[in-house]
Copies of this chain bind each other. A is one copy, B any other.
């Protein structure tokens, strides 16, 4: 039996939520490589909210995925064939190699990782793009000081759970906003957050008032919409709002909901600032080393949510937008 390359390609740009119509599933024979190339057997594929944005035909921080292209995604896998001087068979590599079971690469954007230092999936989460996003977004843009109150939305997700834990390590009061009692309990009991607000079952503004008696100094927002608007009513003088994402708005068919309470920025001389992880690429090694240290010392806990089988990609991706993932969502290629 020939081994086949299983691939998910963009068939049609979605209006609103991606659906079955959005994707094409194809199988083809394994590609052959030429000089300067290598072949990767992908083991894990990262499922990230940012992927929704890559489907839009709009100017952004990165080019949109083209119709017919294999869907862009962060991946980790093993080099199984190499005609590239820097990579050898048996190396494990991380890169944006797409939603497919095998990828040919010329080495661009690849970096090697050590499967013995951490579980492979960590390189897509806490030691990967979400980890870097949370680390640099919080520390460089949020600039939390010990004693301040840090609120994070999407708190049980890949970025949020890391942001909250780093803020705790920096001596802050940390409050997470997440959906459902189970996630909220996890944030407080397992990750050591000071409090959690369950947006699915609580009035967020009331919940925040209770959880943040001294107001909000830093808000790290992954969600947007009503949650951003509610937090804006609770910010302190010179608060920093880090705009990391707006998952509540990505599948809108109407206009994004703008924060009508934005004049709270004026009253409080506060700042709202957007971040894109790739700006920090040169400093990734510093962050990875520090995060790895926290994991090793037990100061940081990691929760991955692994779904098996590349065939499930369309439904697995949608778990992000339904809030069904609990921790970093990763697709394991082989079921």
Oligomeric state, in copies: 2
Name the segment of A95-103, A170-178, A255-263, A307-315 touching the other chain.
A255-263
Given B263, B266, B272, which contacts A262 in the complex, CB threshold below 8 Å? Answer: B272
Check A276 against B269 for contact (C-beta < 8 Å).
yes
Distance of A48 from chain B, by nearest CB (Å): 14
Pick the contact of A272: B249, B273, B276, B279 (CB < 8 A). B273
Query: For A246, what are the chain B residues with a Cβ–Cβ distance below 8 Å?
Result: 263, 266
Is A269's CB under 8 angstroms from B260's CB? no
* Interface residue from B256, B267, B272, B273 paired with A260 (Cβ < 8 Å): B256
Q: Give complex CA distance A59, B264 in Å.
A: 10
Interface size class on chain A is: 20 to 34
Contact between B258 and A260 (Cβ–Cβ < 8 Å)?
yes
Known: A255-B260, A265-B243. A273 touches B274 (CB 8 A): no
With an 8 A cutoff between CB atoms, is A271 at the interface?
A: yes
User: Does A73 lie at the interface of the complex (its beta carbon under 8 Å from any beta carbon of B)?
Assistant: no
Shortest CB-to-CB span from A130 to chain B, Å, is 15
A66 touches B (CB below 8 Å)? no
Does A268 reach chain B (CB closer than 8 Å)? Answer: yes
Query: Is A60 an interface residue, CB under 8 A from the partner?
Result: yes
**A274–B279 contact, CB under 8 A?**
no
Residue of B244, B261, B270 near A273 (CB, 8 A) is: B270
Q: Does A251 contact B (CB under 8 A)?
A: no
**A245 within 8 Å of B (CB atoms):** yes
Interchain residue pairs with CB less than 8 A apart (13): A229-B258, A243-B263, A245-B266, A246-B266, A256-B260, A258-B258, A258-B262, A264-B274, A268-B274, A269-B276, A269-B279, A271-B272, A272-B272
Chain A residues near B (Cβ < 8 Å): 59-61, 224, 229, 243-246, 249, 255-276, 279
A-B CB proximity, top 6 nearest: A258-B258, A266-B274, A265-B274, A258-B260, A271-B273, A258-B259
Please name 5 further chain A to chain B contacts, defined as beta carbons within 8 Å, in addition to the given A256-B260, A259-B259, A269-B273, sorted by A numbering: A60-B267, A243-B265, A262-B272, A267-B276, A272-B273
